[in-house]
Amino acid sequence: MPRLLRILTIVSLTAAAVFTAGAIAGLREAPPVRPAGTTAVPADRQAQAIARAQDRLKVLPRDHATWAALGVAYVERARVTADPSLYPRAEGALRRSLSLRSSSEALVGLGALANARHEFAAARDHALAALRLNEFSADAYGVLADAYTQLGSSAAATRAVQKMLDLRPGLAAYARASYDLEQRGSLAEATALMRRALDAAADPADIAFCRDQLGDLAWSRGDLAGASAEYAAGLAAAPTYQPLLRGKARVDAASGRLAHATAGAASVAQRTPTPDTLLEYAVLLRVAGRTADADRQLGLAAAAHRVFEANGGRDDLAGAQIALGRGDSRTAVRLAESELSRRPFLEVADVLGQALHAAGRDREALGYARRAASGAPSAAYAYHLATVALSLGDRSTALTQLRRVRELNPYFSPADGPTAARALAALEARS
Amino acid sequence: MTTRSRRAAAFGATALVLAATVAGLGPSAGSASSHREAPLIASDPAADNTDVYAFVSPDRAGYVTFIANWIPFEEPNGGPNFYPFATDAAYKINVDSDGDAKPDAVFRWTFKNDDRRGTKTFLYNNGPVTSLDDENLLFRQTYTLESSFGGGPFRTRIKDAPVAPSWTGAASMPRYQTLRDQATVTLQGGWKLFAGQADDPFFLDLRAFDLLYGGDLSETGQDTVAGFNVNTIAIQVPFKDVALGGDAKRNPVIGVWSTTDRNRVRITGDSTPTMGDDRVQVSRLGNPLVNELVVPAGLKDAFNSISPDKDAGIPAVVKRVTDPELARLIEGIYKIPAPATPRNDLVEIYLTGITTKAKGPIKADLNSQLNNKDVDPNRFRPSEMLRLNLGVPVSATPKRLGVLDGDLQGFPNGRRLTDDTVDISLQAVEGAAQTGKLVDALAAGDKVDANDQRFGASFPYVALPNVAAVNSGASASPPTAPAASPAAAPATSPPDMRPVAADQNTGRDAALVVAASVGGAAALLFLVTLGWLRRRARRI
């Protein structure tokens, strides 16, 4: 039996590897190469750190600290490039480090990796283990804050962020503090702290991250010009940072430049084919009336999702969204419920609400939609609650929520934004 | 139509609107917030202290020079790569003259950007820059220096002082020495200031230490930080401004460390975050060889967070000094017996200064605040800092091996730019009185005996920045390399100072005593060095 199991494991691992390689090769386009002789881009310390660590470990394979640093760098790289195939490499480096010597750095790396793979409970445990070794580790508090946020323990998350701020104020702490404030609805303060993070940013990828967040913050208040300016400034520092390109496509769509938006989303989805980018592209294709193309992108989104899971990730939220897009509401409900049981996070409640609504189970959907809409000032959540309320015949809630959509960000979705506006007009005209 | 039926119609119409349109799917802008993956290990080079130097100015009697460097491994390849100081940080040099491990003099720099690039360009300069106020220089920094003495309030010493820019190449900045000179400021009271880019004065070969990991010494002789630049902050002040009671004759010993602070931000309690004058220390550096000794990997973060007065209160820190794990490691590899513990000699070297007053094993008085005549010994607190006896005369012929070679003006009595801190450790290993056994393979140390750039003869002493790309292999010599090293420059007039105190031996004999005693600590020094170097390597 164990023998059979081993064989099965080997077979399935091989299959996964083949699939992963194939999927990556098929989906992922090489990043554009800068022609020689053009202006040099600012030094990418992250890429340098990986190269130097690799060189060093070739000579000194027992250097546990460098193994840990390499593992952490892989996790960061995976975040920036949205490439999940780096996860197994990160895990290998971190486990190697721990096998040589236990350290808070390696545990922090495992925690960051677990967060990236959406294993938030495991991430929390790694962070707590790191803190037992090193109570001054701001990085461990960062991992802990991320995990608590996703696990729905917002007070504990806030405390962890504050510890991080007290130990080592800097970009990583400011960014998390900004997110924490944003979640609590303090958008002006969240913006101020993200500006501070930007001031502290040195690497192009970090500058891009801060600009993207500032753009999203502007976007979330319906400030298209402000969002556009931030995305452009970010792209000047890091021309291929995909969240910025996605933001730019969103602004294009909201400004009526649908062809631009679709082309932009296509290029992002081609270069970094993640479920998110492919779904966004699919939405724009549908809005443009290219249903068959949209369906093809949904198929690719499902493939990208399998790649993420083949690399040790688990993301039933993305799975639920893909199922929703394909009209498979039963699967969407099942996956969203499974995600919510692990991660009682607002967006998961929102998607479960949508899935139940799509399945015609509006009475059950209502609680989840309310939870999301009352938890954060989001036009999308408000819109979703409005759709559920309308199905249940509750026009007054629908009206309130649709007005909220208009007030927060009428551009929130290229597909749903115009619908929300029309529905609101209809309701206001006749009430 | 009745109200009721009108409402029903309205509902129907709205529902239809919703049903008829494309169902939104997938993440909208909100997806970014579903699981925001923020940077965790963001580079923060602007907060990264690399080295601290403290020495009696060889060319200016009665003045001490402090040099602290930040932002390691600046690649001098021009273009968009320039390296500003952080504008959200406070850079400090701290001096403890009474030995209570709290600063008695603090010099604090804060920086401002003057960014004239607008939205049209990301270039640092759009033409040759011949002076600091050249309109072609599009991004500039200025600083404010404040100082505080005896725990008093900070007073502004200068505002809007210019920072020497990153040297982006001979074409952009043909006469960089001019820019350096313009950024060297003299204040009333004789203080000299400099802030800006410089060659990294540290010299070493990281690979010499790889031996411990199973490497070999076949590749010694290359300065592995050669060609990189750093951002330097330098200040020269009269002894009286930093000596206890303003009297460097009675109280010649000071302790020095640098810190980087950022404003404290609160997001709990109060509904709005506050960003005020309350600051958090994010990094700290004193004695270069002690970081990893006092604080191994697991305590590195703690050490960067705490002030020196807390050092002795952390048992793990003290234990790390008295019972160094790495001494056992070197015993395993080189068969050099680890000296018996507790290592009170190391406590003396790193936590108290070398003195007979703490009843330690080293029979010499060199650089502990306990030897200051006006110190209250009851308030003395062991702590890690770079300790300097201002009363040791400037050496006419400085030895790169400092105290171990009988040159009491050198490291670990303060630190000069020319002190070979790596080989000091290695040579100590060779002459180790307690081990009596040499590591033959290390006899020549790391074979990097001096910096690749020559140091200046006058303030701020550090060499001009490198301009050739590090990987190009081209010579990085600036055209105006100064003629002599600071320590090698004979003092223009005899220094106005005497040996510290009557009960101190600061002559050659004492040097030998110290050398022998320090030799006992050598294996550990060596290992500390190793850990520290590896830390530098990781910061790349």
Residues B49-67: tens digit of each pLDDT: 889 999 999 999 999 999 9
Report the pLDDT averaged over residues A323-348. 92
Query: Which of A34-43, A223-232, A375-384, B485-494 shows the lowest per-residue confidence on average (mean pLDDT)?
Result: B485-494
% of chain B surpassing 70 pLDDT: 61
* pLDDT tens digits, B174-230: 999 999 999 999 998 899 999 999 988 876 655 444 444 333 333 333 445 567 889
Q: Is residue B183 within 8 Å of B195, Cβ to Cβ?
A: yes
Considering only CB atoms, which chain A residues are within 8 Å of B214?
60, 62
Among A167, A285, A339, the residue to mutate for chain B (most B Cβ within 10 A): A167
Measured in angstroms, the CA of A168 and the nearest CA of chain B are apart by: 5
A241-314 has which CATH code? 1.25.40
Among A139, A262, A283, the residue to mutate for chain B (most B Cβ within 10 A): A283
Residues A216, B32: C-beta atoms closer than 8 Å: yes
Measured in angstroms, the CA of A126 and the nearest CA of chain B are apart by: 15
User: Residue B379: what pLDDT?
Assistant: 95
Among B3, B31, B229, the residue to mutate for chain A (most A Cβ within 10 A): B31
Residues B11, A143: C-beta atoms closer than 8 Å: no
The shortest CB-CB distance from B298 to any of A133, A138, A378 is to A133
Least Cα distance to B374 among B29, B129, B99, B35 occurs for B99
Better pLDDT: A298 or B506: A298
Q: State the first-to-last Cα distance of chain A, in angstroms, to the nearest integer.
A: 69
Q: Going edge to edge, which strands form the sheet with B192-199?
A: B49-56, B63-74, B229-238, B192-199, B184-186
* pLDDT tens digits, B68-120: 999 887 877 655 678 899 988 999 999 999 999 999 999 999 999 998 887 66
User: Residue A52: what pLDDT?
Assistant: 82
Better pLDDT: B401 or B270: B401
Measured in angstroms, the CA of B17 and the nearest CA of chain A are apart by: 6
Residues A166, B213: C-beta atoms closer than 8 Å: no
User: Residue A210: what pLDDT?
Assistant: 96
% of chain B surpassing 90 pLDDT: 34
* pLDDT tens digits, A134-187: 999 999 999 999 999 999 898 999 999 999 999 999 999 999 999 999 888 888
Provide the H-helix boundaries in A82-203. Answer: 86-100, 104-116, 120-133, 138-151, 154-167, 171-183, 187-200
Q: Which of A28-32, A37-41, A91-95 holds the top average pLDDT?
A: A91-95
From the centroid of its chain, how far is CA B114?
Answer: 26
Query: Which of A235-249, B160-174, B349-363, B494-508 shows the lowest per-residue confidence on average (mean pLDDT)?
Result: B494-508
Better pLDDT: B330 or B350: B350
User: Residue B504: what pLDDT?
Assistant: 37
DSSP A168-199: --SHHHHHHHHHHHHHTT-HHHHHHHHHHHHH
Report the pLDDT averaged over residues B325-329. 62
DSSP state of A359: T
**pLDDT at residue B144 tops 50:** yes
Beta bridge partners of B158: B145
User: Residue B516: what pLDDT?
Assistant: 37
Q: Which CATH architecture has domain A46-168?
A: Alpha Horseshoe (1.25)
Residue type, B64: V
Report the pLDDT averaged over residues B246-259. 97
B517: confidence class by pLDDT, cuts 50, 70, 90: very low
Report the pLDDT averaged over residues B36-59. 88
Report the pLDDT averaged over residues A41-62. 77
Residue A288: φ, ψ to 5°: -80, 0
Least Cα distance to A241 among A74, A32, A9, A19 occurs for A32
Better pLDDT: B434 or B388: B388
Same fold, A46-168 and A178-239: yes
Q: Which of A274-288, B265-279, B514-528 holds the top average pLDDT?
A: A274-288
User: Residue B398: what pLDDT?
Assistant: 85
Measured in angstroms, the CA of A49 and the nearest CA of chain B are apart by: 6
User: Does residue A38 sit in helix, strand or coil?
Assistant: coil
Q: Is residue B361 within 8 Å of B517, Cβ to Cβ?
A: yes
Which chain A residue is nearest to residue B29, measuring alpha carbons?
Answer: A412
The residues spanned by each domain of chain A are 46-168, 178-239, 241-314, 333-431
Cα(B236)–Cα(B53) distance, rounded to whole angstroms? 12
Please give the structure tokens belonging to residue B407. 């040159």
Report the pLDDT averaged over residues B352-375. 86
Better pLDDT: B494 or A235: A235
Is the CB of A79 inside 8 Å of chain B's CB atoms? yes
Query: Which of A191-195, A212-216, B272-276, B279-283 shows the lowest per-residue confidence on average (mean pLDDT)?
Result: B272-276
**pLDDT at residue B311 tops 60:** yes
Q: Is residue B514 within 8 Å of B403, Cβ to Cβ?
A: yes
Angle at A207 between CA A109 and CA A71, to 5 degrees: 15
How high does pLDDT run on average in chain B? 73
**pLDDT at residue B480 tops 50:** no
- A346: part of which helix (H) or strand (E)? helix A346-358
Cα(B281)–Cα(B47) distance, rounded to whole angstroms? 10
ipTM value, please give it: 0.79
Angle between helices A346-358 and A379-391 (to 10 degrees): 30
Q: Is residue A233 within 8 Å of B115, Cβ to Cβ?
A: no
How high does pLDDT run on average in chain A? 87
Provide the H-helix boundaries in B264-354. Answer: 291-294, 300-305, 315-322, 325-334, 344-346
A178-239 has which CATH code? 1.25.40
Better pLDDT: B247 or B277: B247
CATH number for A333-431: choose from 1.10.1670.40, 3.30.530.20, 1.25.40.10, 3.10.20.740.
1.25.40.10
User: Residue B472: what pLDDT?
Assistant: 43
Query: Which of A98-102, B259-263, B345-349, B381-385 shows the lowest per-residue confidence on average (mean pLDDT)?
Result: B345-349
From chain A residues 59-78, the ones with a CB under 8 A of any chain B CB are: 59-60, 62-63, 65-66, 69, 72-73, 75-76
Query: Which of A18-22, A46-50, A280-284 shows the lowest per-residue confidence on average (mean pLDDT)?
Result: A18-22
The shortest CB-CB distance from A104 to any of B265, B298, B537 is to B298
* pLDDT tens digits, B430-477: 333 334 343 454 455 556 666 667 788 899 999 999 887 654 433 333
User: Residue B363: what pLDDT?
Assistant: 75
Residues A168, B9: C-beta atoms closer than 8 Å: no
Query: Which of A230-244, A383-397, B89-103, B334-348 shows the lowest per-residue confidence on average (mean pLDDT)?
Result: B334-348
Burial environment of residue B499 by CB neighbours within 10 A (0 to 12, 13 to 18, 19 or more): middle
Residues B80, A39: C-beta atoms closer than 8 Å: yes
Considering only CB atoms, which chain A residues are within 8 Å of B79?
39-40
For residue B211, what are the CA distances in angstroms to A59, A66, B333, B369? 10, 16, 9, 37
**pLDDT at residue A191 tops 60:** yes
Residue type, B151: G
User: Residue A26: what pLDDT?
Assistant: 34
Residues B301, A134: C-beta atoms closer than 8 Å: yes
Considering only CB atoms, which chain B residues are within 8 Å of A118?
35
A39: confidence class by pLDDT, cuts 50, 70, 90: very low
